[in-house]
Amino acid sequence: MVLTGAAGLGRTAAGAALVLTTALVGRRLGQAALTALAVIAWAFFTGFVENRYGVLTFADGDVVRLGLFVTATLVTACLVPRAAVRGAPAD
């Protein structure tokens, strides 16, 4: 909550921005590494946006959000053309 207020974003916008950033940063990684990066992004979101002070929880909503973060990151990374990543050669 503190981070979304400071950035002027709502929770949904903050989550979408985090997924997009994670997908772009991890675009050149393999699927396993990108999945791990998505789990780290989920932990950051859960700890600092949904909760406070880095507290991770594993309630039903958190587990659903974990699946959404991983799926959305993998799909977004596949959909973003390699040329969109600065300095990357086009496919």
Whole-angstrom distance, CA of residue 27 vs CA of residue 77: 5
- pLDDT exceeds 90 at position 67: yes
Q: How confident is the model at residue 90 (pLDDT cuts 50, 70, 90)?
A: low
> How far apart are alpha carbons 91 and 54 in whole angstroms?
39
Q: 62 near 46, Cβ under 8 Å?
A: yes
Statement: residue 2 has pLDDT above 50:
no
Q: Is residue 26 within 8 Å of residue 77, measured between CB atoms?
A: yes
Q: Which residues lie closer than 8 Å to 2 by C-beta, 6 or more apart?
A: 48, 52
Give the model's pLDDT for residue 39. 94
pLDDT tens digits, one per residue of 7-22:
567 888 989 999 999 9
Tokens (6 digits) for 65 = 């959000």
Its pTM stands at 0.76
